[in-house]
Structure 1
Amino acid sequence: MNKDNPNIKDDLREEYDLTTLKVRKFGRNRKSFAGHTVRLDDDVAEMFPNSEAVNEALRFLMRVTQQNQSPKR
C-alpha cells in the first residue's frame, strides 16, 4: 500500500528505499555521476564496445606518448 495514498496498491516492498535513488537525466544538460561526460563521434564509438575499452586504449596511448618523448633540457 502507498503511504501517501492508501487507496493505491503497488508491488513494491517496504524494505526498498527509493529516497536515495539517483536518476539520470537525458539530454545535453545532464550531469554524469563520474563527473565528466565525453561524447565520441559515431565512427570512433563503433570501434569501442564500452567505456573500459576506451579507457584502455587511451592509457596505452598515454604510455606510448610518454615513452617516445625526448627528455627535456
Structure 2
Amino acid sequence: MKKDNSELDDELLPEYDLKSLRVRKLGSGRKSFGSAIVRLEPDVAEMFPSADAVNEALRLLIQIAQRQPGKNPATIE
C-alpha cells in the first residue's frame, strides 16, 4: 500500500541547497522587486540624467494637474 504524502511532490533533488541560490538581478542597480520599470523613449530619456530627475518632474506634473479644478491626474491624456 502506498503511503499518503500530503506534501507537494517536486522534482528538486535533495542535494540542491536552496539557501545558497541568489536572486538574479535584471538590471544594473536593481534594488527590490517592488519597483516599477518604465521604458522612456530616447528623446524623452535624453532630457533626464537619472531616475530621480524623472520622478521629480512627474511629481511636479502631478501637483500642477491636481490644481486644475475637476481634473483627475490619472485621466489626463
Q: TM-score range by the shorter chain?
A: 0.5 to 0.7
- How far apart, CA to CA, are the structure 2 residues paired with 1:34 and 1:42? 25
> Paired residue for 1:23?
24
Match of 2:59 in 1: 59
Cα 1:64–1:20, aligned 2, differ >3 Å: closer, same or farther?
A: farther
Amino acid at match of 1:23: R
Partner of 2:42: 42
Q: Which structure 2 segments of 5+ residues have no match?
A: 1-19, 72-77
Aligned length: 48
Q: Quick one: distance in 1 between partners of 2:55 and 2:21?
A: 29
Looking at structure 2, the residues matched to 20 and 51 of structure 1 have their Cα atoms a distance apart, in angstroms, of 29
Structure with greater helix percent: 2
Equivalent residue of 2:24, what SS?
coil
Percentage of pairs with the same residue: 44
Q: CA deviation at 1:63?
A: 0.3
The letter for the 1-side match of 2:70 is: S
Q: Which amino acid aligns with 1:38?
A: V
User: What runs of 5+ residues in structure 1 fail to find an aligned partner?
Assistant: 1-18, 27-31
SS in 2 for 1:64: helix
1:21 to partner: Cα distance: 5.5
Runs of 4+ in structure 1 over 2 Å off: 19-23, 32-35
What amino acid is the match of 2:24? Answer: V
